[in-house]
Structure 1
Amino acid sequence: MKAIILAGGKGTRLYPVTLETPKPLLTVQKRPIISHLIDGFLKHQIDEFIVLISKDHIADFEKWKKDFAFDLNVAFIVENEPLGTFGCIYQVKSSLGDEPFFVSNGDELKSFDLRKMMDFHKEHNGAATLALVEVPNPSSYGVVICDNEHKVCEFLEKPENPPSNYISSGLYLLEKEIFNYYSYDKPVFSMVEKDLFPKLALENKLYGCKFQGQWFDCGTFERWEKAIKEWRINNDDLLC
């Protein structure tokens, strides 16, 4: 099974640090964030990776790959211009097989049981499954409302008055069916949060799988510091 890691963002909220080092290569407990993600995928037998990167940081990611503990089956795809989450996924469409694939933001730490997520996805037979996590400040993220059957009823991007504390954690398990909802014939800027998930929700094809594990967004200095202080890495059963 393959995993796509979205690692091409500019990280403007972490300037000037990210002018030299892209967010996924920033360290938490002395290891790059992306290395924590890769470790966890490998523990769940997910061992083929496609990493979307900025043209400004090709050498940085090549060095990271070279320095990793062992050889990785990873392909770097350069994002020459901002494409958004959906545009990036579409860019690598031809590299995906017929089986489901994971997509993860590259600047977050997640401690979720991926086997549980895969079983959930197969059982519910949707086009997309979102890993959901409960947070105290949901208005900063994509808030998700589910019914009693775990179908996503609404996907609200950064609402002022969030009706739920469950958010999308930036980890998705997707079917190739999602490309039927792509409105263009080439990679252009589009977001799964706005251009895909609401459409799937209307057709009852979007599901949310709730987790109680750790989750850290490292997109600001405050959140990055929190991750450094609180992230726990010694759990072989979790994505870490």
Structure 2
Amino acid sequence: MKAMILAAGLGTRMRPLTDHCPKPLLTVAGKPLIVHHLERLATAGIHDIVINVSYRGQQIIDALGDGERYGVSLQFSVERTPLETAGGLRQALPLLGEAPFILLNGDVWTDFPLARLALANDDLASLVMVDTTDFHRRGDFHLDAQGRLHVDGEPRLIYAGLGVVRPELVADLPAGAAIKLAPLLIDAMQAGRVGGWHHRGDWVDVGTPQRLAELEARLTQG
């Protein structure tokens, strides 16, 4: 299975740290955040990785190279302007191929066991979900007892920025268009084609300097 790391965002919430450095290259516990992802993917046996880049994307390409030093093989999907998540996936499909792939936000950190990620035969996606937080109390979706995700229902959980996606989910989108992923996932949920896991372990949305500092403290103390 291949993986795609989303790394094309502007990192506006992380300013001023991202004024001259793309968010995936911000250092935490002695290495860039995106390198933690590469190492964990390699440990899980996932070696073919696509990274989409846009804002200061050449810095990411230069820093990571072909990925050999991390035990992976990297390809980059360069977006002249950010294409949102679904648009970025659509552009990267020629690199990802026709099989389901792991999708990972570049600005999260989690100890979810990546080797567990899989997709049911008819599903378009399966998403890792976590408990609501102070900055997102409403949550995103409801996960039922059978492991199916729904737009409505209680209790609600947050999409953790990690999952498995079938290329079919975005294959019919127009190339080069900036399109969000959430509406496509909602349509797939309403068709009964999205599963999920409730992860009760460690997860951080590394979206602000404060959360980056908190993750640094957690990892270095641990």
Q: TM-score normalized by structure 1?
A: 0.83
Partner letter of residue 176 of structure 2? P
CA apart distance, 1:179? 2.6
- Deviations 1:195-215 (CA, angstroms, capped at 9, x unpaired): 211100110001111112211
Equivalent pairs: percent with the same residue?
26
1:171 and 1:40 map into 2 onto residues whose CA distance is 13
Q: Given that residues 89 and 170 in structure 2 are in contact (C-alpha distance below 8 angstroms), is that contact kept between their aligned partners in structure 1?
A: no
Q: Given that residues 143 and 156 in structure 2 are in contact (C-alpha distance below 8 angstroms), is that contact kept between their aligned partners in structure 1?
A: no
- Deviations 1:18-51 (CA, angstroms, capped at 9, x unpaired): 0211111111111111011111111111100111
Q: Is it true that 1:196 corresponds to 2:184 in the alignment?
A: yes
Which residues in structure 2 correspond to 1:1-240 (within 5 Å)?
1-54=1-54, 56-65=56-65, 69-70=69-70, 72-118=72-118, 121-122=119-120, 125-137=122-134, 139=136, 143-154=140-151, 163-179=154-170, 182=172, 184-193=173-182, 195-231=183-219
185 and 72 in structure 1: CA distance in 2 versus 1, 3 angstrom threshold: same
106 and 39 in structure 1: CA distance in 2 versus 1, 3 angstrom threshold: same
- Deviations 1:83-107 (CA, angstroms, capped at 9, x unpaired): 1000000001122223210111111
39 and 141 in structure 1: CA distance in 2 versus 1, 3 angstrom threshold: farther
9 and 142 in structure 1: CA distance in 2 versus 1, 3 angstrom threshold: farther
2:8 and 2:114 map into 1 onto residues whose CA distance is 24
1:233 and 1:34 map into 2 onto residues whose CA distance is 20
Q: Given that residues 133 and 166 in structure 1 are in contact (C-alpha distance below 8 angstroms), is that contact kept between their aligned partners in structure 2?
A: yes
2:207 and 2:55 map into 1 onto residues whose CA distance is 20
2:165 and 2:92 map into 1 onto residues whose CA distance is 13
1:85 and 1:39 map into 2 onto residues whose CA distance is 23
CA apart distance, 1:165? 4.9
Q: Return 5+ residue gaps in structure 2 as ranges.
A: none
2:77 and 2:9 map into 1 onto residues whose CA distance is 13
